[in-house]
Structure 1
Amino acid sequence: MLLLLLLLPLVGAVAVAPLKDNPRAAKSLALAVALVELLLTAVTWFSYSVVGAATERFQLVFDVAWIPSFGTRITLGVDGIALVMLALIAVLVPIVMGSSWADRLPEGRTAAGFYALLLTTQATLVGVFAATDIFLFYVFFEAMLIPMYFLIGRFGGPKRQYAAVKFFLYSLLGGLIMLASVIGVYVVSAQRLPAGTFSWTALQSIAASVPESVQIWLFLGFFVAFAIKAPLVPFHTWLPDAGAEAPIGAGVLLVGVLDKVATFGFLRYCLPLFPAASKTLAPVVLVLSVIGIIYAALLAVGQNDMKRFVAYTSIAHFGYISLGIFAFSTQAFAGSVLYMVNHGITTGLLFIVVGMLIARGNSRLITDYGGVAKLTPALGGVFLLAGLASLALPGTNSFVSEFLVLIGSFPREPVYTIIATVGIIFAALYVLWVYQRLFQGPVRGNAVLASLPGPGTMTDPGSALGEARSTFADLTKREIGVLTPLVALVLLLGIFPGPVLEVITPSVTATLHEVGLADPVGGVTR
């Protein structure tokens, strides 16, 4: 099943790419492939045994030899953490395709190329989350940069080439540093096992016997790559540029899923394979996390570009995720994994709504809008819901995950948790401030006023607004269909997160055991 999940998007991309002269067929075929992938992911979800997860680290394992002389294998498997990330990808990709259906592409670019790259990105992400061979993980980690580079560089905004190159160079640098650690892990395994190996299971079995000084160097190689990808401050500077210049669909996958590879890597590789180093260096990561929460929130307040605003809010959210990971409790671990899922949903919703607003006003600048709720009340309502979910309002999905992170982190790291809590105040400030500027007050701003009929605006405001609504329209049926699943998930996971937490809990419990620490709070809240 996992091999099928990996290959189906690749086959779909190969089939879609030649349809350059038939954009509708290319879009329809790509969407059909994404929906089949969603169905197969649902089958995978129900094939996973929550009870069996207490004794089996990975399920649905696929394993064949790859390069025997180097000890590499094509080994795929999922635990609860990987499974929820595969589900997030499967949900977001068809929604991204639907939201991009009517996008105006740069001159010379085709819908077939765009949708083929989306499917290729999906395939590489499935490989990253399902790989249980470290070398295979590294291959997918680097491979996922390629389709995203082209999505940004060929289909993005005015500064797309600069943003794409910056994204690629930052990520490639991190990947090369990680490669040194991957080689180091192989050398260490050859000293303690009959032969060198890249198998996660074999490496984890010898992790405790590796000297801490060696672990620290190996940990740093993985950590730098993941800190760049996350991104943690001060490795974050590529994300605002990439997020701002990426097309909306690619931006949703970039911020909603691709960046989660880093926090997933912390849990899958850094903590279980280098437990002593993880505990020793945790204070450094916690400092970077809380700095990121406050720093990114303050920068988000001052943004005038809507897409950069979403990017900076994401940097702040990643601070909470990494705080929970390096607080070493099952509640914090579970909260961080759930936060990874919920952030993908919430930020995806916010990014798509921003894209819909930009498509109407042809401007990314917040100052070019005002009073938009008078023209598009439904769009304004969804933006407000996405914003409230982003600031973790009780009743929305993000509240559960943020609450678990904070309550799970406090017993072991009270000072960092208290500082992080201040970020909630800033989150309310930047979300409500942006909503006020965009949607409330009188109709204003160049992007909105351009839709008004001109002189009639002053003498007959009712008629003027009526004409404006016909050009600056509210949500269409297609847009409602795109947004409805995300809105439903925001509300459903806000009041009923139990099924997802039940899948996550055994895996995060196993991770804490692999680190060799006792749970300070006695288990995860179910």
Structure 2
Amino acid sequence: LYVISADQLGTGTFDFATLRQLEITPGVQKLLFLGFFVAFAIKAPLFPFHTWLPDAGAQSPTGGAILLVGVLDKVGTFGLIRYCIPLFPKASSYFAPMVLALAVIGIFYGALLAIGQRDMKRLVAYTSLAHFGFIALGTFALTSQGGTGAVLYMVNHGLSTGLLFLVVGFLVARRGSRDVGAYGGMAQVTPVLAGVFLIAGLSSLALPGLNSFVSEFLVLVGTFTRYRALAIVATCGMVLAAIYILYLYQRTMTGPLVHEEARGVLDLSVREKIVVAPMVVLIIALGVYPKPLIDIIRPTVTATFVDVGHTDPAPTAPVNASQAGGHS
């Protein structure tokens, strides 16, 4: 980009506003888009550039995993919206079907791998792969609803996955094991911890009334207006989210038998309750009333797409003539 700006302007620049005004040929635009996209897709991560995620999530300390998967990986998806689409609008439209296909594959691939995990931290890491599939889906649907849902999903994913990693960290600290088989019937011993775990899990699977539902719904509605088949397939992927979360909760928290070595485990301390309380409150509050965040996100996302010529598709449902006359 610097070389192209030097060629066109006489002096090279890294100024974003100036770079957006460059006249880049379609072929070069596609190559530059791919360069940026692959870098941001690795950072996010998106399928098939995700291979570092499960190892990093599983081996990091709990605090590091929360920062990595709950916060820092949003840099990748932010970069897709902030840089790839504005700098390379034609290339974004050209590669959108490819990115959407990878996003849908990632939703199913991440969910299926999460279902089969026995390591709880790896399981939570794989759920992030599925969630980032939804974020990429909303971003490259190139609609205001999809884009708004994608950005909102970044916030909500940080809350739900951050809380999941925190709860798993509490369990590992108490039992010294990440293996799902080392637990069972924990709700009888640690009811408060089990309740927080359930809220975090239900948020991750996008239960209506909790924060992730609103963002996932906006992503799917925004995608449906332009790519109906992909939206329908992605909706089916939501079923898998219910499986991996509820299956994990069932194996660790429920059941009549408490694992022998877990009988003396302590419930959440006052300090731990203070740590999780704000996240639980935000998960519920944003599920019931997400409007303040949406009002901040929607204008910026819409302006970004409109600036590069991506407008929402016209409604396909016919308008009743008598209703139209009445409204006029």
So what's the TM-score if we normalise by structure 2? 0.94
Q: Secondary structure at the match of 1:352?
A: helix
Q: Which residue of 2 aligns with 1:506?
A: 299
Matched, 1:196 2:7: no
User: Is this contact kept in 1: 2:163–2:279, CA < 8 A?
Assistant: yes
Matched, 1:319 2:119: no
Q: Which residue of 2 aligns with 1:297?
A: 111
1:404 is aligned, of 186, 206, 218, to 218
The letter for the 2-side match of 1:480 is K
- Output the CA distance in 1 between the equivalents of 2:294 and 2:270: 33
Q: CA deviation at 1:501?
A: 1.0
User: Is this contact kept in 1: 2:107–2:131, CA < 8 A?
Assistant: yes
List per-residue Cα deviations over 1:212-271 (Å, max 9, x = no partner): 101011111111111111111111111000000000001001001111111000001100
List per-residue Cα deviations over 1:396-438 (Å, max 9, x = no partner): 0000000000001101111111111111100011111110000
Matched, 1:309 2:102: no
Q: CA deviation at 1:502?
A: 1.1
User: Is this contact kept in 1: 2:188–2:258, CA < 8 A?
Assistant: no
2:3 is aligned, of 181, 187, 191, to 187
Q: Which residue of 2 aligns with 1:26?
A: none
Q: Which residue of 2 aligns with 1:205?
A: 21
Q: CA deviation at 1:515?
A: 2.5
Matched, 1:252 2:45: no
Q: CA deviation at 1:443?
A: 2.9
Q: CA deviation at 1:514?
A: 2.6
- Output the CA distance in 2 between the equivalents of 1:186 and 1:336: 30
Q: Which residue of 1 aligns with 2:312?
A: 519
The letter for the 2-side match of 1:433 is Y
Q: Which residue of 2 aligns with 1:102?
A: none
Q: CA deviation at 1:290?
A: 0.3
- Output the CA distance in 1 between the equivalents of 2:72 and 2:128: 12
2:236 is aligned, of 391, 404, 422, to 422
Paired residues for 1:270-281 under 5 Å: 270-281=84-95
User: Is this contact kept in 1: 2:163–2:200, CA < 8 A?
Assistant: yes
User: Is this contact kept in 1: 2:111–2:126, CA < 8 A?
Assistant: yes
Q: Which residue of 1 aligns with 2:290?
A: 497
- Output the CA distance in 1 between the equivalents of 2:32 and 2:86: 12
- Output the CA distance in 1 between the equivalents of 2:311 and 2:51: 36
Q: Secondary structure at the match of 1:220?
A: helix
- Output the CA distance in 2 between the equivalents of 1:313 and 1:223: 22
- Output the CA distance in 1 between the equivalents of 2:143 and 2:132: 18
2:188 is aligned, of 370, 374, 384, to 374
So what's the TM-score if we normalise by structure 1? 0.59
Q: Which residue of 2 aligns with 1:450?
A: 261
Paired residues for 1:30-69 under 5 Å: none
Identity of paired residues, percent? 59
- Output the CA distance in 2 between the equivalents of 1:442 and 1:236: 38
Greater relative CO (CA pairs within 8 A, separation 6+): 2
User: Is this contact kept in 2: 1:375–1:472, CA < 8 A?
Assistant: yes
Q: Which residue of 2 aligns with 1:476?
A: 269
2:163 is aligned, of 334, 349, 374, to 349
List per-residue Cα deviations over 1:358-380 (Å, max 9, x = no partner): 11111000011000000001100
- Output the CA distance in 2 between the equivalents of 1:271 and 1:432: 37
Q: Which residue of 2 aligns with 1:239?
A: 53
Q: Which residue of 1 aligns with 2:43?
A: 229
- Output the CA distance in 2 between the equivalents of 1:426 and 1:333: 23
- Output the CA distance in 1 between the equivalents of 2:118 and 2:96: 35
**RMSD over aligned Cα, in angstroms?**
1.1
The letter for the 2-side match of 1:483 is V
The letter for the 2-side match of 1:281 is F
- Output the CA distance in 1 between the equivalents of 2:215 and 2:131: 11
Q: Which residue of 1 aligns with 2:32?
A: 218
Q: CA deviation at 1:383?
A: 0.4
Q: Which residue of 1 aligns with 2:246?
A: 432
Q: Secondary structure at the match of 1:394?
A: coil
The letter for the 1-side match of 2:290 is P
The letter for the 2-side match of 1:273 is L
- Output the CA distance in 2 between the equivalents of 1:364 and 1:251: 14
Q: Secondary structure at the match of 1:492?
A: helix
Q: CA deviation at 1:444?
A: 3.9
- Output the CA distance in 2 between the equivalents of 1:521 and 1:234: 33
The letter for the 2-side match of 1:203 is L
- Output the CA distance in 2 between the equivalents of 1:388 and 1:187: 49
- Output the CA distance in 2 between the equivalents of 1:202 and 1:370: 58
Aligned pairs, number: 315
Matched, 1:334 2:148: yes
Q: Which residue of 2 aligns with 1:264?
A: 78
